[in-house]
Chains A and B, each alone.
Chain A
Amino acid sequence: MNSPLLPIIIPFAFAILLMFAPKQLMFQRIGAMIGAILTVGASVWLLQKVATDGIQVVTFGSWPVPYGITMVSDMVSILFVLTSSIITLFAIWYSYRTIGVGREQFFYYPGILLMLVGVNGAFTTGDIFNLFVFFEVLLMASYLLSVLGGEKIQFRESIKYILVNVVSSAFFVITVAMLYSVVGTLNMADIAQKVSEVNQPGILTAIAIMLLVVFGLKAAIFPLFFWLPSSYSGPPLPVLALFGALLTKVGVYAIMRTFTLFFVGDIAFTHTLLLYLSVATIVVGCIGALAVWDVKKIIIYNIVIAVGVILYGIATYNDTGLLGSMFYVVHDMLIKAALFFLVGIIIYITGQTNLKKMGGLMKHYPSLGWLYLIAAFSLAGIPPLSGFIGKMLLVKGGFEAEQTASSIWILLSSLIVLLSVIRIFVYAFWGKEKETTPINRSVYWQLWIPTALLVALTIVYGVGADAVMPYMAKAAETLANPQIYIDAVKGGQ
Chain B
Amino acid sequence: MKLNNVIMRTMTQMVFFIIFLFSIHIFLAGHFAPGGGFVGGLLMSCAIVLLLITFDLKTVQNLLPINYMVLTASGLALALLTACISAFAGEAFFTHYFDYFTLPLLGKTELHTAMLFDTGVYLVVVGVTMIIIQSIGGDE
Contacts and interface: CB of A to CB of B under 8 A. Distances in A.
A60 B117 CA distance: 14
B73 A62 contact: no
Interface size class on chain A is 10 to 19
Contact of B73 (A1, A16, A68): A16
A170 interface: no
Interface in A23-42: none
A61 B117 CA distance: 13
B91 A62 contact: yes
Contact of A61 (B72, B73, B80, B96): B96
Contacts of A19: 69, 72-73, 76
A59 B95 CA distance: 9
**Residue of B76, B90, B96 ringed by the most chain A CB atoms within 10 A:** B76
Interface in B74-116: 76-77, 80, 84, 86-87, 90-96
A22 B73 CA distance: 11
B111 to A, nearest CB: 18
Interface in A1-27: 1-2, 5, 9, 12-13, 16-17, 19-20, 22
B70 A58 contact: no
Contacts of B84: 9
Interface residues of B, number: 17
Nearest to B114: A61
Interface string B30-60: 0000000000000000000000000000000
Interface string A47-71: 0000000000011111000001000
Interface in A352-393: none
B69 A22 contact: yes
**Residue of A12, A20, A68 ringed by the most chain B CB atoms within 10 A:** A20
A17 B76 CA distance: 10
A444 B17 CA distance: 59
Given A9-B84, A19-B69, A20-B70, A60 B92 contact: yes
30 contacts: A1-B90, A1-B91, A1-B92, A2-B87, A2-B93, A5-B87, A5-B93, A13-B80, A16-B73, A16-B77, A16-B80, A17-B77, A19-B69, A19-B72, A19-B76, A20-B70, A20-B73, A22-B69, A58-B92, A58-B93, A59-B92, A60-B94, A60-B95, A61-B92, A61-B93, A61-B95, A61-B96, A62-B86, A62-B92, A62-B95
